């Protein structure tokens, strides 16, 4: 009996030790599980922080790439300006050489000047095979009336672009962008437009949009032509127009000191100066550097002129006629000497509310975008070849 008690006691002791071992093992397992859970949480947090750090680094690298590209473009622009200044200095040196010590016959000087002018005129080389000219106004469409009595509306003169741009008034730094002509037509005023703010105010109505760039005229003490990149949102170049003492280019649009135009050949400047204030002058500009490639004095009067545009290197100046509600192309100047005023057909605009403050030609559509006393009008042009005259 006593031995049985001993066995029972030993069994109880063994059971107690076994239970203690089990409890110990359970505690160890729980501690290990806690550590594993903590390690998992820390690993997850570290992975999340690494992902966030990677995203930040990628974003910073992208910003650095953008800043690098902007810096590169700015350096290219500075290089272009330096080249232009060097060319202008070379030109001034050639124009202001040492005075001769002998008297020169006046007739000989006039002959030399005439020869230089003829060579300068002959130097212009056409950039395209375009030889079209206006035959008549084929159709007219009045879209709406929005904005100030004077202003400009136009389309991006590049293939594939359908956006419309509004320069409301004659002095502002904000233009309105519409996705299409349809959006502009159905918009209440400019409610469906996107506002684009330029780095400086534009003056007058002589502005164009070409290859996603705004070319506009800014006037402080000097006349500046500014080129603004709408895609990247910065000014890529600007140039002071070399002709001084400029006067309004059109007698009926005094706010416009200079008018810019685009055709199949590129960018043109239409202007007038006090030295030749009775007539309109024309200049061909480089769309990239804004350099003046060539300049012409035309025989087109400023008096009674409303607006002008260029097609295939030919300047068309529109005048107010004595007939009520009508304007007319009354003067034509062709830089290639293929068309003269006597040979050009009479082109009448079918209706006029006040006076055209701007006429912008679109080569792809053969349309004129006109602003007339706050009305936005489209003129469809009928064309013919210059050689058919």
pLDDT at 103: 44
Look at residues 60, 88, 116 and tell me which one is the last residue of a structural domain: 88
Residue 225 shares a structural domain with residue 324: yes
Mean pLDDT of all residues in 342-363:
86
For 306, the domain range is: 130-388
Residue 116 has pLDDT above 50, yes or no: no
Tokens of 74: 């700015």
Look at residues 37, 72, 88 and tell me which one is the last residue of a structural domain: 88
| Rounded percentage of the chain residues whose pLDDT exceeds 90 | 46
In-domain check, residue 94: no
pLDDT at 380: 95
In-domain check, residue 104: no
Residue 221 shares a structural domain with residue 363: yes
In-domain check, residue 222: yes
The pTM for the full model equals 0.69
Q: Which residue has the tokens 């400009």?
A: 152
In-domain check, residue 116: no
In-domain check, residue 125: no
Residue 168 shares a structural domain with residue 65: no
In-domain check, residue 121: no
Residue 261 shares a structural domain with residue 141: yes
Residue 152 shares a structural domain with residue 68: no
Question: Is the backbone of residue 74 left (phi > 0), alpha (psi -120 to 50) or beta?
Answer: alpha
Residue 234 has pLDDT above 70, yes or no: yes
Neighbours of 8 (CB within 10 A): 10
**pLDDT confidence band for 186 (50 / 70 / 90):** very high
Look at residues 88, 108, 138 and tell me which one is the last residue of a structural domain: 88
pLDDT at 386: 83
Residue 176 has pLDDT above 90, yes or no: yes
In the chain, how many domains are there? 2
Residue 170 has pLDDT above 90, yes or no: yes
pLDDT at 28: 83
**CATH classification at residue 372:** 2.120.10
Residue 15 shares a structural domain with residue 151: no
Task: Give dist(CA 131, CA 338) in Å, integer.
Answer: 9
Q: How far, rounded to the nearest angstrom, does the alpha carbon of residue 11 sit from its chain's CA centroid?
A: 98
pLDDT at 346: 83
101 compared with 213, residue with greater pLDDT = 213
**pLDDT confidence band for 96 (50 / 70 / 90):** very low
Residue 167 shares a structural domain with residue 62: no
Residue 285 has pLDDT above 80, yes or no: yes
Mean pLDDT of all residues in 212-216:
95
In-domain check, residue 340: yes
Greatest alpha-carbon span in the chain: 158
Residue 8 has pLDDT above 50, yes or no: yes
Residue 293 has pLDDT above 70, yes or no: yes
In-domain check, residue 27: yes
Dump pLDDT digits (tens) for 29-48.
888 888 888 888 888 888 88
Residue 73 shares a structural domain with residue 202: no
**pLDDT confidence band for 295 (50 / 70 / 90):** very high
Residue 117 has pLDDT above 80, yes or no: no
Residue 240 shares a structural domain with residue 358: yes
pLDDT at 359: 96
Residue 39 shares a structural domain with residue 177: no
- Of the listed ranges 58-62, 129-133, 339-343, the one predicted with least confidence: 339-343
Q: Which long-range contacts (CB under 8 A, 24 or more apart) does 178-184 make?
A: 181/143, 181/155, 184/143, 184/144, 184/153, 184/376
Residue 93 has pLDDT above 90, yes or no: no
Question: Is the backbone of residue 313 left (phi > 0), alpha (psi -120 to 50) or beta?
Answer: left
pLDDT at 3: 65
Dump pLDDT digits (tens) for 241-265.
877 778 999 999 899 999 999 999 9
pLDDT at 27: 83
Residue 73 shares a structural domain with residue 143: no
Residue 136 shares a structural domain with residue 63: no
Torsion of CA 75, 79, 85, 87, to 10 degrees: -170
């Amino acid at each position: 009996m006593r031995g049985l008690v001993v066995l029972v006691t030993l069994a109880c002791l063994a059971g107690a030790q076994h239970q203690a071992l089990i409890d110990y093992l359970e505690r160890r397992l729980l501690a290990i599980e806690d550590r594993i859970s903590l390690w998992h949480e820390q690993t997850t947090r570290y992975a999340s922080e690494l992902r966030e750090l990677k995203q930040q680094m990628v974003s910073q690298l992208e910003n650095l790439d953008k800043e690098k590209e902007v810096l590169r473009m700015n350096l290219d622009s500075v290089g272009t300006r330096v080249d232009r200044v060097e060319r202008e200095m070379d030109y001034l040196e050639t124009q202001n050489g040492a005075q001769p010590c002998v008297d020169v016959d006046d007739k000989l000087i006039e002959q030399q000047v005439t020869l230089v002018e003829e060579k300068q005129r002959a130097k212009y080389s056409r950039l395209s095979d375009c030889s079209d000219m206006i035959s008549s106004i084929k159709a007219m469409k009045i879209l709406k009336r929005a904005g100030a009595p004077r202003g400009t509306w136009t389309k991006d003169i590049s293939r594939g672009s359908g956006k419309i741009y509004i320069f409301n008034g004659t002095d502002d730094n904000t233009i309105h962008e519409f996705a299409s002509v349809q959006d502009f037509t159905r918009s209440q005023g400019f409610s469906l437009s996107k506002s684009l703010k330029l780095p400086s105010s534009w003056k007058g109505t002589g502005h164009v949009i070409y290859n996603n760039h705004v070319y506009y005229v800014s006037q402080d003490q000097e006349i500046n032509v500014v080129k603004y990149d709408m895609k990247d949102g910065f000014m890529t170049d600007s140039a002071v127009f070399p002709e001084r003492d400029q006067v309004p280019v059109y007698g009926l649009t005094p706010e416009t000191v200079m008018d810019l135009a685009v055709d199949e050949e590129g960018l043109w400047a239409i202007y007038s100066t006090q030295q030749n204030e009775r007539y309109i002058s024309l200049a061909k500009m480089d769309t990239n550097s804004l350099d003046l490639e060539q300049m012409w004095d035309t025989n087109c009067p400023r008096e009674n002129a409303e607006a002008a545009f260029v097609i295939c290197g030919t300047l068309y100046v529109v005048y107010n006629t004595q007939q009520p509600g009508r304007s007319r192309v009354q003067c034509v100047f062709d830089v290639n000497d293929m068309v003269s005023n006597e040979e050009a057909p009479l082109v009448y605009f079918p209706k006029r509310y006040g006076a055209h403050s701007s006429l912008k030609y679109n080569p792809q559509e053969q349309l004129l975008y006109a602003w007339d006393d706050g009305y936005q009008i489209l003129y469809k042009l009928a064309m013919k070849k210059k050689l058919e005259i």
